[in-house]
């Protein structure tokens, strides 16, 4: 499974530098990757449906219990099939949708990266590994949402989505770390065994609050829902992929995965039911006022995610069965509607419902796909949507008697609105008289209109044979979530009962609502009057406040003067060191520990002081450079006197290189500033700070002599430097072996700095040439 996850990452890395060489010929061929992955997961269905689990572990950082642990069970298989199956459709669709786009290769690279990140999320059995992939989905979605980076709104939407989901990711990381500390393991499988320990721990309320924030931000639950409608600025293939099978479902997956770990308590259930219930009604209502097809689909998606959150919170076996089924239902019809919307936008140049009509006459196959998807979303008999709606009503009717009626009413109101929204997106653009402006519209390439047709037909095939979904998918998912063997009974016909009556009533009421509802700009503007109290407005104001504080901070601490940076750093260091001296007890000098001062040391110190005075008083830059080099060489001699030749050599090398570099750039630097003649107060201030810093460090050095010497660490490095590192120079072995990762990143930082300097110099040279 590690290879499966890496396949998309490797493809993405290859596409970015080399994709431009074959974007026109091989863009469609990239669909082979998700098709192969889908075929692999589909082949595992018989084995996983019997309650089995496939596990794989590859060591990464075993000393910290951080490994590439993967698990393929019923829940992860369902999501993996959706990610790769709908991913295959999206890749085929995008090959025509973005044909000729200058950055098509880059788009497909981001799509591969996103697919791999989502597979990593659903397959991970280590919570830290899960978090790594979780954040990778946020980063890759940022690239996809902001793909049209020349558009200001696209950039804003991408930043907003990354900000909200990124903040949720920080909360999730904290919650996962707390969970692992309580249970003593990073393994999700082992966390399930420790469920009672976690739910009865004092940290449990904090843990679920942090996990909820992570899940709600990713799955756009109120009040974090506002980023998702803005994400509609992304190209349609992105919208279809993110909002049907992948990113927004990641939060739902997280809640489902951690239900056996953190679920089963009132705090878990009531929070999810309250947030999910409010989100599903609120967003379904909003979807009726939208005039942009993507806006309708965005708010109906948020509502569907609210339904899933609500059902997971309800937590009964029937509710979990309904949630698992509805995940597949929603993925099929919502991906279809998004792809249909993309075709309409691609061919007509607009998504406005107030302008679209009669397109069935020029886009007949697309109309058929949209019609099937709309009917599945409405719950028409023989569609999988009908099965899903029945299961939702069964779950609410069989809930606690005190609340069953209210929960069922909430579900009915939501589903009525979603029926109307589905008809608005899938039927309305195709009915009525053809707008004269669209008479020349024609069918796009076959690779654009066949994919949505496949998904739409699949919804009805599964609806006619619901036992396939129940027997091969839902049973294993519920077994994973509950830990018990479950057998569902999915049938087309269960006879006349209350559930059937509610389903038919919802379909009729939703149809009437669709016919009565006339979305318009006036109604939308009326709704937007309440925008001042919306979560998006609150978030925008908080962001503006944060930006103002950041500006004040930057102007104070980063004013562009190196002397200011050094002054503030030294002041801060002095404060910390003084605090350490104050809490460290009295200081006394044991003269027996001090070696006598030799003649050579005294002469060396006098030279050092003379060079120092010369450096701070001279008006010549060259003299100042020579003075600092003399100070450095004097320190080198100190190291030699006290038997540290390796440090002396290092110091000598650095000082020599610094002097050489200074001399090279000497004549290109701005004029020399001598504050001794320009600003006496500044000189006095800096002298006080410098003398204080030297005095504090001297006291710290004396304090160190009072601390008992511990040689355990020295013994460890001395013993194992040769045995483990195969080196006789202990310092070198520490740098390249024991602290190899630190050294590597130090080199990376220096390399990045060097590239930055080179880039700035190159830009300056270009500017000079233009002048």
Residue 237 scores a pLDDT above 60 = yes
Is residue 174 scored above 90 in pLDDT? Answer: yes
Rounded CA-CA distance 198/201 in Å is: 5
DSSP-based three-state secondary structure for 138: helix
In angstroms, rounded to a whole number, what is the distance separating the alpha carbons of residues 328 and 305? 12
Instruction: Dihedral sign for Cα 627, 633, 638, 644, please.
Output: positive
DSSP character at residue 728: S
Contacts for 401-409: CB closer than 8 Å, 24+ residues apart: 407/273, 407/277, 407/314, 408/502
Going by C-alpha positions, the residue among 82, 526, 126, 469 that lies closest to residue 290 is 526
Task: For residues 433 and 439, give the distance between their C-alpha atoms in angstroms, rounded to a whole number.
Answer: 11
Q: Which residue has the tokens 């969970």?
A: 179
What are the distances in angstroms from CA 406 to CA 401, 412, 500, 503?
10, 10, 18, 17
What does the pLDDT average to over 651-656?
Answer: 86
Model confidence pLDDT, tens digit, residues 429-475: 999 888 888 888 888 889 899 999 999 999 999 999 988 888 888 88
Stretch 99-127: mean pLDDT: 88
Determine the 3-state secondary structure of 488 from DSSP: coil
Higher-pLDDT residue of 718, 245: 718
For 38-61, what is the mean pLDDT? 89
Q: Which of 273, 169, 291 is nearest to 221 (CA)?
A: 273
Cβ-contact 342, 93 below 8 angstroms: yes
* Cβ atoms 423, 374 nearer than 8 A: yes
Spell out the alpha helix ranges (H) of 62-151: 74-97, 104-123, 127-145
Query: Cα(225)–Cα(165) distance, rounded to whole angstroms?
Result: 10
Integer Cα distance of 607 and 632 in angstroms: 11
Per-residue pLDDT, 38: 93
Q: Which of 653, 655, 652 is nearest to 663 (CA)?
A: 655
Residue with tokens 């077994």: 479
Residue 180: per-residue pLDDT:
92
432 sits in the region (left: phi over 0; alpha: psi -120 to 50; else beta) called: left
Q: How many CA atoms lie within 13 A of 334 on its CB side?
A: 31
CA dist 23 and 96 (Å) reads 12
The answer to whether the beta carbons of residues 153 and 32 sit under 8 Å apart is no
pLDDT band at 211 (very low <50, low <70, confident <90, very high): very high
| Best CA proximity match to 271, nearest among 203, 327, 213, 316 | 213
Tokens of residue 165, six digits: 């989901």
Query: In 3D, which of 179, 181, 206, 210 has the Cα closest to residue 195?
Result: 179
- State the helix-helix crossing angle for 104-123 and 127-145, rounded to 10 degrees: 160
Instruction: Let me know: does 316 contact 346? Beta carbons within 8 Å.
Output: no
Q: Going by DSSP bridges, is the β-strand pair 66-72/54-61 parallel, antiparallel, or unpaired?
A: antiparallel
Contact (Cβ atoms closer than 8 angstroms) between residue 256 and residue 287: no
The 10s digit of each residue's pLDDT in 250-294 is 999 999 999 999 998 999 999 999 999 999 999 999 999 888 899
pLDDT value at 101 more than 90: no
Q: Taking a C-beta distance cutoff of 8 angstroms, is the pair 242, 140 a contact?
A: no
Distance CA 357, CA 434 (A): 5
Average pLDDT, the chain: 86
35 three-class SS: helix
Write down the residue that tokens 């791999």 correspond to. Answer: 116
β-pair partners for 57: 69
Confidence of residue 234 (pLDDT cuts 50, 70, 90): confident
Closest listed residue to residue 119, CA positions, set 81, 90, 65: 81
Range 113-123 average pLDDT: 92
Q: Distance between CA 432 and CA 358 in Å, rounded?
A: 5
Q: Distance between CA 160 and CA 154 in Å, rounded?
A: 10
Greater confidence, 330 or 592? 330
Beta-carbon contacts of 296 under 8 Å, excluding residues fewer than 6 positions away, are: 287, 290, 353, 421, 424, 425
Q: What are phi and psi of 745, to 5 degrees?
A: -70, -30
Q: Contact at 8 Å (CB) between 221 and 178?
A: no
Would you tell me how many other CB atoms lie within 10 Å of the CB of residue 230?
20
Q: How sure is the predictor about 496, in pLDDT bands with cuts at 50, 70 and 90?
A: confident
What single DSSP character describes residue 440?
T
Name the residue among 156, 346, 342 with its Cα closest to residue 243: 342
Q: Say whether pLDDT at 307 is over 90.
A: yes
Q: Is the pLDDT of residue 377 over 80?
A: yes
The mean per-residue pLDDT over the stretch 310-318 comes to 92
The pLDDT score that the predictor gives to residue 770 is: 62
The dihedral built from the CA positions of residue 456, 461, 463 and 464, taken in this order, carries a sign that is positive
Question: Can you point out the beta strands (E) in 560-632?
Answer: none
The pLDDT-based confidence of 76 (bands split at 50, 70, 90) is: very high
pLDDT of 331 > 70? The answer is: yes
Among residues 261, 262, 5, which one has the least CA distance to residue 132?
5
How many angstroms separate the CA atoms of 731 and 646, rounded?
9
Taking the C-alpha atoms of residue 292 and residue 223, their distance in angstroms, rounded to an integer, is 22
Which has the minimum average pLDDT: 26-35, 215-224, 332-341? 26-35
Q: How far apart are CA 299 and CA 418, in angstroms?
A: 10
Cis before residue 223, ω within 30 degrees of 0? yes
Instruction: Mark 364-391 as b/e (b = at least 16 C-beta within 10 Å).
Output: eebbbbbbbbbbbbbbbbbbbbbbbbbb
Query: Nearest Cα to 377, choosing from 411, 417, 347?
Result: 417
Q: Alpha-carbon distance 335 to 454, whole Å?
A: 11
Q: What is the pTM of this model?
A: 0.81
Sign of the Cα pseudo-torsion (291, 310, 170, 116, in order): negative
As to burial, measured by CB atoms within 10 angstroms (0-12 exposed, 13-18 middle, 19+ buried), residue 313 is buried
DSSP string, 247-268: HHHHHHHHHHHHHHHH-SSHHH
Between CA 452 and CA 519 the distance in angstroms is 25
Residue 225 and residue 299: Cα distance in Å, rounded?
A: 9
Whether the predicted pLDDT of 13 surpasses 80: no
Given the structure tokens 């929603």, which residue do they identify?
Answer: 330
Q: What are phi and psi of 264, to 5 degrees?
A: 90, 10
């Amino acid at each position: 499974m590690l290879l499966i996850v890496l396949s998309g990452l490797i493809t993405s890395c290859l596409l970015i530098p080399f994709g431009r060489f074959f974007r026109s010929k091989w863009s469609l061929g990239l669909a082979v990757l998700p098709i192969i992955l889908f075929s692999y997961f589909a082949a595992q269905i018989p084995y996983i449906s019997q309650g089995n689990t496939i596990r794989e572990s590859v060591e990464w950082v075993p000393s910290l219990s951080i490994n590439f642990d993967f698990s393929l069970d019923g829940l992860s298989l369902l999501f993996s099939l959706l990610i790769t199956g709908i991913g295959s459709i999206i890749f085929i669709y995008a090959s025509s949708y973005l044909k000729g786009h200058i950055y098509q290769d880059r788009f497909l690279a981001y799509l591969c990266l996103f697919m791999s990140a989502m597979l990593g999320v659903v397959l991970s059995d280590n919570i830290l590994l899960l978090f790594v992939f979780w954040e990778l989905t946020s980063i890759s979605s940022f690239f996809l949402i902001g793909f049209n980076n020349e558009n200001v709104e696209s950039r804003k939407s991408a930043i907003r989505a990354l900000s909200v989901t990124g903040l949720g990711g920080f909360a999730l990381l904290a919650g996962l770390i707390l969970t692992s500390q309580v249970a003593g393991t990073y393994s999700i499988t082992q966390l399930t065994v420790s469920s009672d320990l976690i739910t009865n721990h004092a940290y449990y309320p904090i843990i679920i609050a942090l996990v909820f924030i992570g899940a709600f931000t990713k799955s756009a639950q109120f009040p974090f829902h506002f980023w998702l409608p803005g994400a509609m600025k992304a190209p349609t293939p992105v919208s279809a992929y993110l909002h049907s099978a992948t990113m927004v479902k990641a939060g739902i997956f997280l809640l489902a995965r951690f239900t056996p770990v953190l679920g089963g308590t009132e705090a878990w259930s009531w929070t999810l039911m309250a947030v999910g219930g409010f989100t599903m009604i609120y967003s379904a209502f909003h979807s009726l006022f939208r005039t942009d097809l993507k806006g309708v689909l965005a708010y109906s998606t948020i509502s569907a995610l609210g339904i899933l959150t609500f059902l997971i919170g309800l937590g009964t076996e029937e509710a979990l069965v309904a949630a698992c089924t509805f995940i597949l239902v929603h993925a099929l019809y919502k991906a279809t509607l998004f792809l249909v919307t993309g075709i309409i936008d691609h061919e007509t140049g607009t998504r406005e419902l107030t302008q679209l009509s009669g397109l069935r006459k020029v886009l007949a196959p697309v109309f058929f796909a949209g019609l099937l998807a709309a009917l599945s979303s409405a719950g028409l008999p023989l569609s999988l949507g009908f099965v899903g709606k029945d299961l939702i009503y069964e779950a609410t009717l069989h809930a606690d008697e005190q609340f069953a009626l209210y929960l069922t009413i909430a579900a009915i109101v939501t589903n009525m609105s979603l029926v109307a929204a589905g008809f608005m997106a899938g039927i309305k653009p195709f009915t009525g008289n053809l707008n004269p402006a669209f008479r020349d519209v024609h069918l796009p390439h076959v690779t654009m209109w066949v994919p949505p047709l496949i998904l739409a037909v699949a919804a009805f095939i599964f609806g006619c044979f619901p036992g396939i979904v129940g027997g091969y998918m839902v049973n294993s998912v519920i077994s994973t979530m509950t830990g018990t063997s479950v057998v569902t009974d999915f049938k087309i016909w269960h006879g006349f009962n209350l559930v059937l009556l509610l389903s038919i009533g919802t379909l009729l009421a939703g149809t009437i609502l669709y016919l009565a509802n006339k979305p318009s700009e006036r109604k939308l503007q009326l709704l937007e009057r309440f925008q001042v109290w919306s979560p998006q407005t609150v978030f925008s104001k908080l962001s503006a406040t944060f930006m103002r504080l950041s500006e004040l901070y930057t102007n104070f601490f980063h004013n562009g003067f190196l002397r200011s940076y050094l002054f503030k750093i030294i002041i801060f260091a002095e404060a910390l060191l003084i605090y350490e001296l104050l809490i460290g007890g009295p200081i006394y000098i044991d003269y027996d520990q001090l070696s006598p001062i030799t003649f050579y040391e005294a002469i060396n110190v006098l030279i050092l002081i003379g060079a120092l005075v010369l450096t701070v008083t001279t008006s010549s830059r060259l003299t100042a450079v020579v003075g600092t080099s003399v100070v450095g060489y004097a320190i080198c001699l100190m190291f030699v006197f006290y038997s540290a030749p390796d440090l002396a050599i290092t110091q000598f090398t650095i000082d020599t290189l610094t002097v050489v570099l200074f001399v090279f750039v000497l004549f290109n630097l701005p004029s020399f500033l001598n504050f001794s003649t320009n600003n006496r107060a500044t000189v006095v201030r800096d002298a006080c700070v410098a003398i204080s810093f030297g005095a504090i460090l001297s006291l710290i050095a004396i304090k160190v002599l009072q601390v008992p010497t511990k040689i355990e660490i020295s013994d460890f490095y001395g013993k194992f430097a040769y045995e483990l590192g195969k080196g006789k120079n202990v310092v070198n072995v520490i740098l390249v072996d024991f602290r190899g990762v630190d050294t590597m990143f130090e080199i990376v930082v220096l390399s990045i700095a060097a590239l930055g300097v080179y880039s700035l110099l190159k830009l300056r040279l270009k500017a000079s040439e233009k002048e």
